Amino acid sequence: MPERRSAAPPRFVRLAETGRPAIALRIDGRPAMALAGDTLLVALLSNGRRVRDSEFGDGPRAGFCLMGACQDCWVWSEQGERLRACSTPAQAGMAILTQPPSRLWPMTPDLQERLERQAEAQR
């Protein structure tokens, strides 16, 4: 799988509610931390700059409506279940994918082309 996490600082920086217990999860196979009560969107953007890449090839997504109506924040469990990152609570031990698992959800040609270009640019 191509490298998708940037070296840039995370998009979200926690300024309050830092006393909640930390929980461990995995994002695209990498260890990540969140706090109890965080949504997956907060966990993803606290650990990186994006939620996912658009399946239509128009770039990285970071959520749009933040209330479960727009479908811009879909992520997947390793089992292939689609989850709305903005309204799904992060849980200890979760394994989240920012791209659909190819064995269950075929990748669109636009997204495949964009990811290949992105991988080449990072080399």
Query: Does 119 score more than 70 pLDDT?
Result: yes
Domain boundaries, the chain: 22-122
CATH class of 22-122: alpha beta
First to last CA, the chain: 14
pTM, rounded to two decimals: 0.72
Instruction: Say which residue, 31 or 63, is predicted with more confidence.
Output: 31
Segment 59-81 mean pLDDT? 79
Query: Does 63 score more than 90 pLDDT?
Result: no
